[in-house]
């Protein structure tokens, strides 16, 4: 085989521009994932999931499935390396993020000693809504754990450890705060009594089923094992018909579940958590909506990001 059939790849540090590695005789059909593996041999501390490789320091990192000969580089490529920091697999990430709130809430529900004053240790609330709220909260997080293990097909293998720590602090501390108030011995049940609780429960259950239906729908989009984002569409399941109006109905249902939980418990910290979740999910949904509109020329113009006809 002649030399011209091989590529040379120079890898520079993105900040110092110092040369970290020079790979010659790289097969033209090598993927970025394979180049990361070669780089890893020289730097064992930077395993592939920690590496970001870019052709331009200011542009997006290259995907692992991109092929060297399809990049605009000729036969000698210069790539810029950035260390993404320690990583954890997605399943571990979500287990850490979701098991925390699940267990934290139960500490307050069972009123473990030192949670409230000692005379309330292991007592239970006289209000049925407190037990119902605990059941809803537990089901919500059990559902998320089940989806993480069996339903979601993530495109990225890992998440940076510092992001996980930030997310865990957010989810764990918020659930402790909500649980503290809802299970407090001085908690007062909703103003409109059983009627308010029952209506909220119906909306909560519908939103949870809707959220699960959308996650199943997204799972089917990756049925062929691909990692790219496809055109999401409604199916025969009526819960997916929200796709006619929004790009991220899973977020719409998630917000609906938290709003109904706020109404059911009539608890201010829950309402605050719902508002923060709504803001965060709206930012993500708008980003995804823009990406769909850019990628698919025939993307329906009636679709909004998260709230039909509004946002
Ligand atoms: N309460 C809160 O504050 C809060 C905040 C965020 C999320 N959540 C909950 O967590 C759930 C998951 O959140 P998320 O941000 O990961 O949702 P997401 O971005 O919609 O992703 C859900 C799954 O579907 C895949 N997916 C999404 N769009 C796809 C497409 N067009 N084609 C193929 N696969 C696609 C994703 O893969 P990749 O993303 O790996 O490509 C991921 O595996 C949400 O639906 C919500 O219920 C709650």
On the question of pLDDT at 174 being above 90, the answer is yes
Pairing status of strand 7-13 against strand 19-26: antiparallel
Q: What pTM value is reported for the model?
A: 0.88
Q: Is 178 in the pocket of ligand 1 (CB under 6 A)?
A: no
Same domain, 62 and 94: no
**What is the pLDDT of the chain when averaged over all its residues?**
94
Contact (Cβ atoms closer than 8 angstroms) between residue 29 and residue 191: no
Same domain, 198 and 307: yes
Token pair, residue 130, equals 């407190």
Q: What is the pLDDT of residues 203-216, one digit of tens each?
A: 999 999 999 999 99
Higher per-residue confidence, 96 vs 181: 181
Give me ligand 1 centre to Cα 311, in Å: 18
Token pair, residue 75, equals 């036969």
Which pLDDT score, from 0 to 100, does residue 225 have?
78
Q: What is the pLDDT of residues 84-98, one digit of tens each?
A: 999 988 778 878 899
Give the residue ranges of DSSP H helices in the chain: 32-42, 90-109, 128-146, 161-182, 193-221, 249-265, 268-295
3-state SS of the chain: helix, strand, coil percent to 5?
55, 10, 35
Q: Is 254 in the pocket of ligand 1 (CB under 6 A)?
A: yes
Contact (Cβ atoms closer than 8 angstroms) between residue 28 and residue 69: yes
The range of the structural domain enclosing residue 179 comes to 86-188
Same domain, 49 and 151: no
Number of domains the chain is built from:
3
Q: Please state, as a whole number, how many other Cβ atoms lie within 10 Å of the Cβ of residue 289.
A: 19
Which residues neighbour 297 within 8 Å (Cβ) at sequence distance 6 or greater?
A: none
On the question of pLDDT at 104 being above 50, the answer is yes
Confidence of residue 3 (pLDDT cuts 50, 70, 90): very low
CATH code of the domain containing 56: 3.10.20.90
On the question of pLDDT at 266 being above 50, the answer is yes
Q: Is 281 in the pocket of ligand 1 (CB under 6 A)?
A: yes
Which pLDDT score, from 0 to 100, does residue 4 have?
54
| Range 6-33 average pLDDT | 95
The domain boundary residue, chosen from 84, 115, 147: 84
Same domain, 212 and 311: yes
- Ligand 1 nearest atom to the CA of residue 214, by list position: 45
On the question of pLDDT at 187 being above 80, the answer is yes
The domain boundary residue, chosen from 33, 65, 84: 84
Q: Is 175 in the pocket of ligand 1 (CB under 6 A)?
A: no
| Range 218-229 average pLDDT | 86
The domain boundary residue, chosen from 150, 166, 188: 188
| Range 279-292 average pLDDT | 97
Best CA proximity match to 278, nearest among 257, 256, 255: 255
Same domain, 125 and 56: no
Which pLDDT score, from 0 to 100, does residue 74 have?
87
Contact (Cβ atoms closer than 8 angstroms) between residue 306 and residue 246: yes
Same domain, 64 and 126: no
């Amino acid at each position: 085989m002649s030399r011209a059939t091989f590529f040379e790849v120079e890898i520079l540090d993105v900040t110092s521009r110092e040369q970290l590695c020079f790979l010659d005789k790289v097969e033209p059909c090598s993927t970025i994932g394979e180049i990361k593996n070669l780089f890893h041999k020289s730097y064992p501390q930077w395993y592939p999931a920690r590496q970001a490789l870019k052709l331009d320091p200011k542009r997006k990192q290259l995907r692992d499935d991109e092929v060297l000969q399809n990049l605009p580089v000729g036969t000698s490529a210069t790539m810029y390396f950035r260390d993404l920091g320690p990583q954890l697999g997605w399943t571990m990430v979500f287990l850490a993020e979701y098991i925390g709130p699940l267990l934290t809430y139960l500490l307050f529900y069972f009123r473990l000693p030192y949670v409230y004053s000692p005379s309330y240790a292991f007592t239970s609330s006289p209000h049925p809504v407190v037990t119902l709220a605990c059941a809803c909260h537990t089901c919500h997080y059990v559902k998320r754990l089940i989806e993480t293990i069996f339903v979601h097909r993530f495109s990225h293998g890992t998440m940076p450890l510092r992001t996980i720590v930030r997310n865990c602090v957010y989810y764990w501390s918020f659930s402790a705060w909500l649980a503290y108030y809802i299970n407090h011995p001085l908690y007062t049940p909703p103003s409109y009594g059983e009627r308010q609780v029952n209506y909220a429960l119906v909306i909560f259950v519908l939103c949870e089923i809707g959220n699960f239906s959308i996650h199943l729908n997204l799972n089917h989009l990756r049925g062929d094992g691909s990692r790219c984002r496809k055109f999401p569409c409604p199916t025969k399941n009526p819960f997916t018909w929200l796709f006619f109006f929004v790009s991220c109905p899973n977020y719409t249902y998630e917000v609906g579940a938290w709003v109904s939980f706020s109404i059911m418990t009539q608890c201010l910290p829950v309402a605050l958590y719902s508002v923060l979740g709504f803001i965060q999910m709206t930012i993500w949904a708008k980003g995804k909506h823009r990406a769909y509109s850019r990628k698919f020329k025939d993307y329906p113009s009636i679709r909004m990001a998260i709230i039909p006809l509004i946002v």
